[in-house]
Structure 1
Amino acid sequence: MLQKKLSQALDPEMHDGPGLSRTNNWIVALICLSILLGVFETEPNLTHGLEPLYAAAHLFFFAAFLIEYLARLYAASLNPRYGSPWRYALTFASLVDLIVLLAFIFPFLGLEATLFRMFRAARLVRLARLGRYSLAMQMISQAIVQRRYELGVSIVAAFGLMLLSSTALYLAERDFQPENFGSIPRAMWWSVATLTTVGYGDIVPVTPLGRIFAAFTAITGIGFIALPTGILAGAFSEALQNIRK
């Protein structure tokens, strides 16, 4: 009886109602709070003098997630996909949960745990994927798969333009800025920043020919880089229309 209740409360696939169960909604809230804790902890001004409070919060989250992890293992055998706790323990989702738990222990071993704590965000993705957004995510994924050839062509075209512009700037600027354009790989950093319209400004062409190439790259890049965005937007729109039908 307890195992069945835990399965319905913790396993989105075994939940009868729409969306996530109340228990999983609370777990999502705890995950969000633990992520914020990990983010705030990297700012010295927010941790000075509050180390005991942060330690207590980490201990609370560790206990909560440990209980949740053990409960999921206990209830996993009721899901036909797993059949036993051990098969569930070897799934990607369970391994992510285990890494999150280990991240709480790392500081006591003198290890850096900030990166591993950010794995908590992966748990949100997993819960969302299995919850109320599962149908929408499936349809969006199918729409992207249907446009994979258009996406592939646009990505190859963008890469070709990047390579072409890098080569052009290498030929035009290599004698004047060998540290920035002394090779095609060095020029690629400028090309990526220009094509994506980021424009950091740390590397700029100084020769007239280089500036002409740069202007052509910037203007052409607007269209080429926008292609994947437009294709993805069309795929998402198509998926939403299918959902409404």
Structure 2
Amino acid sequence: MTEPKLAVNSASNTMTQSYRATTYQLLEEHTNMTLIAKIINISLIMLIITNVIATIFESESSYHQQYLVEFTVFELISLTIFCIEYGLRVWCCVEAKKYQNLSPSKARIKYIRSGVALIDLITILPFILALFFNIDLRSLRLIRVLRLLKLTHYFKGFNIFISVIAKELKSITAAMLVMVFIITIAASLMHIIEGRVQPETFGSILKSLWWSVVTMTTVGYGDVVPVTPIGKLIATIIMLIGVGLVALPAGMLAARFGEELRERKEDLDSKIKQALADGYIGQEEYQELVELADRLEIDPEDFQRTIAQFKRINNHEKCPHCGK
């Protein structure tokens, strides 16, 4: 009696793993996507965008009153779909290669703590809160607008941006701190110089901070301006400093973006060279290269051109006279 039970349990586990692997391919696989996977991904993308559009229109009181029932039904349907999606992603995440060495429970806990999973959790937070508290789902508009962050599942270019921000975080933080110091000093100076002349706008350092921030960032609303000669001189200096200092973080990010793309391209080139060491790229090697190119956000056309280029170089015969 024991052997048939073991056979049934084994068959059941195998079937579960098969369903789980299929679910993972449909939701998380971005290379060699099937038609069904593409339809599911496009449908979820459209649902996310439609949700944000509905939230924007619902903020208009006239639309909110006229289409109250429609907005409510659409919100409930969307939350149900997002809850199912979240549950399926948590269930099938154990199929990811990075979790292969972990037990299913540990893999799921690690996935739940990841940034992408936390974003998914935020999108269904209104539904969870409504189960325990008597709240109006429409009042949580900010959380609903944050559903745009779910697009990180489908547009991997966001990962490059996050990676660049993480690597340049210390430099950007240092530049921002310098800006804060100068803004505070400028506000203090303007309070001392302009405070007696314009007490309603420069009567305290707190009031002067608004002018200091607007001037330092070169926005220049013009609602608050210095009137004394010394105040105008300080404002001129602050504006000149702000032109260069505000642009500094942007320059850091731009430089890091270029460096990040170059490093990713060099990493892929190195792997292609290793794969072509024996003269050809096997099926398994090619699949690994495709997955690496997808993780590195390399365009498929650039990936194919790179392989073709290295194949030409690898197959090019050397000149018997010069050796080139």
| 2:142 equivalent to 1:121 | no
Structure 2 gaps of 5+ residues are: 1-17, 267-324
Q: Relative to 1, partners in 2 of residues 1:46 and 1:153: Cα closer, same or farther, differing over 3 Å?
A: same
Percent identical residues: 28
Q: Which residue of 1 aligns with 2:178?
A: 157
Q: Relative to 1, partners in 2 of residues 1:31 and 1:202: Cα closer, same or farther, differing over 3 Å?
A: same
**1:116 is matched by which residue type in structure 2?**
I
| 2:95 equivalent to 1:74 | no
Q: Which residue of 2 aligns with 1:94?
A: 117
Aligned-residue RMSD, C-alpha: 3.0
DSSP-derived class of the 1:193 partner: helix
Cα distance in 2, alignment partners of residues 134 and 120 from structure 1: 15
Identify the match of residue 54 of structure 1 among 71, 91, 94: 71
Cα distance in 2, alignment partners of residues 233 and 95 from structure 1: 28
Identify the match of residue 231 of structure 1 among 252, 263, 269: 252
Q: Relative to 1, partners in 2 of residues 1:32 and 1:212: Cα closer, same or farther, differing over 3 Å?
A: same
Q: Normalising by structure 1, what TM-score?
A: 0.79
How far 1:223 sits from its partner (Å)?
A: 1.7
Structure 1 gaps of 5+ residues are: none
Cα distance in 2, alignment partners of residues 34 and 28 from structure 1: 10
Cα distance in 2, alignment partners of residues 77 and 10 from structure 1: 13
1:171-182 to 2 correspondence within 5 Å?
171-182=192-203
Q: Deviations over 1:42-88 (max 9, x none)?
A: 11243342222212221221222122122223323333537238524
Q: Relative to 1, partners in 2 of residues 1:195 and 1:35: Cα closer, same or farther, differing over 3 Å?
A: same
Q: Which residue of 2 aligns with 1:169?
A: 190
DSSP-derived class of the 2:76 partner: helix
Identify the match of residue 17 of structure 1 among 4, 10, 32: 32
Q: Relative to 1, partners in 2 of residues 1:157 and 1:201: Cα closer, same or farther, differing over 3 Å?
A: same
- The higher relative CO (CA closer than 8 Å, separation ≥ 6) is in 1
Cα distance in 2, alignment partners of residues 217 and 135 from structure 1: 36
Q: Relative to 1, partners in 2 of residues 1:41 and 1:4: Cα closer, same or farther, differing over 3 Å?
A: same
Q: Which residue of 2 aligns with 1:110?
A: 135
| 2:4 equivalent to 1:4 | no
| 2:206 equivalent to 1:185 | yes
**2:79 is matched by which residue type in structure 1?**
F
**1:230 is matched by which residue type in structure 2?**
G
Q: Normalising by structure 2, what TM-score?
A: 0.62
Cα distance in 2, alignment partners of residues 235 and 89 from structure 1: 30
Cα distance in 2, alignment partners of residues 53 and 191 from structure 1: 47
How far 1:193 sits from its partner (Å)?
A: 0.5
How far 1:90 sits from its partner (Å)?
A: 4.9
Identify the match of residue 133 of structure 1 among 139, 143, 157: 157
Cα distance in 1, alignment partners of residues 112 and 174 from structure 2: 40
Cα distance in 1, alignment partners of residues 48 and 188 from structure 2: 47
